Every structure is written in structure tokens, then in C-alpha cells.
Amino acid sequence: MIDPQWKQRLYDGPLQGCFVTFASAEIAELTAMIGFDFLLIDNEHGNMNPETLEDMVRASHAVDVPAIVRVPFNRHEYMRKALDFGANGVQVPLVDSVAGAASAVAACHFPPRGERGVAFLPRAARYGMCGNKAQYLAQADANKLVSVHIETPEAVKNLEAILAVEGIDVLFVGPGDLAISMGHAENPNHPEVLDTMEKCIRTIRRHGRIAGTYVGDAERSRLAIEWGATYLVTAITPYMVQGGINYLRETRISMNK
């Protein structure tokens, strides 16, 4: 069973999540079993059809790990589908403005607060067996997580205004896109990029919101926590690649002895 307080725990201290970009329920389940606090299923850069995406959410839930879906675009149909599948939240890329942030919030909340279509037959509502329908609607609005990306100079400039939009839980500072959009594709760890990230994360925390970012290793995780981030996300792919490289290097060394 998913801890009903898992989202609240993000306000109390850091949780470690993991991107899964492969369209595979098995890899989602394996990643969840490793011990991450939540999965971030990447349907922005992954290639997942709706059936596979739902199975990946289900696989994460099978080992009691919350599943967030990063949608391809800031469009209502992607967010509504992910939530109907039973995802514990959505993450929306390239949110640069108040209008974009407000649109994401509207897609994720039922009326009168938002514009999410009401249905009691999808997986999220236990296929119609949710019992008290009014209670289901209230709990669905309260328990799901809405995360938006801050990853361009425009988003950084509009951060204070975006923070004023009610209904956003996490503001996720994306280091890769931010570095490239700032002209530092050759060096994503450029001091200007790191300084911008730190200022954004500290501003998000000062406003009482959850700050998130991508962390590629333990040192970057430590630094992000120091700045105030608690929604920390790595990715399973680099560890799979590095494991294979290490194996081949070590076995070839031993074969050549």
C-alpha cells in the first residue's frame, strides 16, 4: 500500500526518486524494488503507449512505491490520462509562465477548482468500486502531486510569479535544459548554471514549496539537499550502462592476464 503521507514527507526531508525512460513494466518494477522512495516514469523522452504506461504505474504500486508520470507536453489529455491510470502525480516539462503553470494545475484538479474530467470507472477510482464518490474526488485532489519544470531563463525570470500559482507542489529545476538554454551546453556544471539553480531552489523553499532537481551522483545529491531540495531524482539508465561497462572492463582485464 502506498503511504498516504508520502507527499507530506517531501516537506519534512529529502526523498530519492528515479527516472525510468524504458517502456517496460519489468524495469519499472525492478527500479522500485531497489528501494527508491518514488518512481518518475519519463514519458517525455521515453516512448510509452498508454497501455504500457498504465502497466508501469501498476508495477511500481505492486511494490508499494509511488509513481509519478512526466508527461510529454503541458497538455490536459496527457495529465488526465496519467491520473486516471492511477499515477500518484504528474510532472510537466517546460513551464515558463503563470499561464502554463495555471493550465497544468487546472488539468490535475476536478471542478470547481480545475478542469479534470470526472470518471469513476478508471483504475484510479478502483474501476467504479471507490465507494464514496465525493470522498474519492476530494482525496484524489488532495493526494496527487503536481510538479512543474523550471528549466529556461524565462522560467527563472518568472519564478516568483509561478510560485504564486496555487496547486503546484513541486518546482523541479532541470539542470540539463537550463544549462543548454543558458548557453552552457559544453559545461552543464558551469558556475553560472549552478548559481542559478541554487538561487531557484532557495527561492522555492523560501515560499514554502517543495524544490526538486535531477542529481546524477551522491555529491550532487548532497549539494542539492544543502540548497534545500527534497525531491531528488536520478536515473536508472546510467547505472545500467556503468554496470555493463565495469563488467566488460574487469572481465577483459582478467582474460588478458
Tens digit of pLDDT for each residue in 185-201? 989 899 999 999 999 99
Q: Which residues of 189-208 are buried (b: 16+ CB within 10 A; e: fewer)?
A: eeeebbebbbebbebbbeee
Res. 257 pLDDT band, cuts 50 70 90: low
Q: What is the pTM of this model?
A: 0.94
Average pLDDT over residues 44-51: 96
Q: How far apart are CA 135 and CA 104, in angstroms?
A: 23
Question: Kind and range of the H or E element at 41?
Answer: strand 38-42
- pLDDT of 255 > 80? The answer is no
Q: Which of 45, 61, 149, 207 is catalytic?
A: 45
Q: How far apart are CA 8 and CA 103, in angstroms?
A: 23
Q: What percentage of the chain has pLDDT greater than the value 90?
A: 94
The CATH homologous superfamily for domain 6-255 is Phosphoenolpyruvate-binding domains (3.20.20.60)
Average pLDDT over residues 105-115: 95
For residue 179, report the phi and psi dihedrals to the nearest 5 degrees: -60, -45
In angstroms, the Cα distances linking 169 to 24, 124, 137, 233 are 27, 20, 18, 15
Q: What is the CA radius of gyration of the chain?
A: 19
Taking the domains of the chain in order of start, what are their residue ranges? 6-255
Q: How far apart are CA 214 and CA 219, in angstroms?
A: 12
Q: What percentage of the chain has pLDDT greater than the value 70?
A: 100
* 45 part of the active site: yes
Res. 73 pLDDT band, cuts 50 70 90: very high
Write the pLDDT tens digit of every residue in 143-179: 999 999 999 999 999 999 999 999 999 999 999 999 9
